[in-house]
Structure 1
């Protein structure tokens, strides 16, 4: 591992990996980044996460920590002398964990329905997704951040989905900002933080990646394909084996 004390195994479009990168940036932690080809998993990834075989994995002093929210909590507890990510009050800390868990269970799973279902089911999925975002918007309310005045754990759990919003909107033909203006205002506020702005990829780059993945899976009308090049992509809950890069015209 090149002797680095902190190593991150990750894949650039992963909203889960982005959480870890933001937390490390907030703490000012130097680390070695190892991009993973999830169509051809590295021996290191298989060794460090033999149960799920997924990214992200943080390796600290040779010991692996898996699952993004667990990793963020580990980072906060281990490097606790700077930029606390968890609230100090136990009850507020429990609420932050609740909202992060809500994001994991609701946002990602429901967003998948937008790109996998059709017809009436697709329309219902859009409505469900918007209602979930409205619940999150209600929690933020008039506060700058999820749990109050400070950027922290719950914000990190959700903000990495922001770079995927353009993809969800394009596929679903709706506007998240129109439906949830305060949520988008919160996201833009988070983007003013260097840790977030330097971590989240451009939204249209994410969209291009998504189209590449969908084309490999056969869910894109090939009449729209203008160019095909080799590419490697997501797998597991998020990404699948190597696919093709395509440019789409609508």
Structure 2
């Protein structure tokens, strides 16, 4: 079965990397297939998307590292915080970083949401305690991508001074999963090109 696993993704995407981290935690061998989202492959077009991919991986491959807690309440909590990150934190951070009609308000809203995560993390090493779990994996954008984009656009959301626990968590996460994260310089260059493409005026 392992030989049949193909991960269709984009190297710079935090969503692709989430699945990659989950597969590695479960010791599942896979083939990464780079996709061009402007010209999607036939394989991608005919593949049905599986929602909540990481829980699916955890339930499909029982061996390896458990990504979700066994306790029903803790499982529900993990899913709640994962949704909070995807539905609240990610959109707010993206809006604050890439500009809005009210930039100060956007940054304030994003920081408030990150503070909620900071309070949930408290003094724990990871969101689930001493080991990595679903919430940590879903928060990979905050741990790694956020810093790269901050460097490019000059907007600070996650800093040691503002959010010390979340900042330390991000360092720990990146240290553990550095092999599953894109090269920092390549990612920064990618976002610099994106910024230039949105700020360079087009000629008539």
TM-score of the alignment, normalized to the shorter chain, above 0.5: yes
Question: Greater strand share, 1 or 2?
Answer: 1
TM-fit CA distance, 1:202: 3.1
TM-score, normalization by structure 2: 0.88
- Which residue of structure 2 lines up, in the alignment, with residue 236 of structure 1? none
Match of 1:210 among 186, 191, 199: 191
- Which residue of structure 2 lines up, in the alignment, with residue 71 of structure 1? 53
Question: Does residue 82 of structure 1 match 2:64?
Answer: yes
Question: Residues 102-181 of structure 1 correspond to what in structure 2 (within 5 A)?
Answer: 102-114=84-96, 115-118=98-101, 121-170=102-151, 171-174=153-156, 176-177=158-159, 178-181=161-164
Equivalent residues, number: 197
Rounded Cα–Cα distance in structure 2 between residues aligned with 1:210 and 1:87: 35
TM-fit CA distance, 1:162: 2.2
Rounded Cα–Cα distance in structure 2 between residues aligned with 1:19 and 1:168: 18
Rounded Cα–Cα distance in structure 2 between residues aligned with 1:215 and 1:4: 41
Question: Greater helix share, 1 or 2?
Answer: 2
Rounded Cα–Cα distance in structure 2 between residues aligned with 1:172 and 1:215: 14
Q: Is the 8 A contact 2:5 2:29 kept in 1?
A: yes
TM-score, normalization by structure 1: 0.73
Rounded Cα–Cα distance in structure 2 between residues aligned with 1:79 and 1:133: 32
Q: Is the 8 A contact 2:143 2:169 kept in 1?
A: no
TM-fit CA distance, 1:212: 1.9
Rounded Cα–Cα distance in structure 2 between residues aligned with 1:183 and 1:71: 25
- Which residue of structure 2 lines up, in the alignment, with residue 191 of structure 1? 174
Q: Is the 8 A contact 2:11 2:34 kept in 1?
A: yes
Question: Residues 26-105 of structure 1 correspond to what in structure 2 (within 5 A)?
Answer: 26-49=25-48, 65-67=49-51, 70-105=52-87
- Which residue of structure 1 lines up, in the alignment, with residue 165 of structure 2? 182
Q: Is the 8 A contact 1:211 1:220 kept in 2?
A: no
| Structure 1 unmatched runs, 5+ | 50-64, 223-250
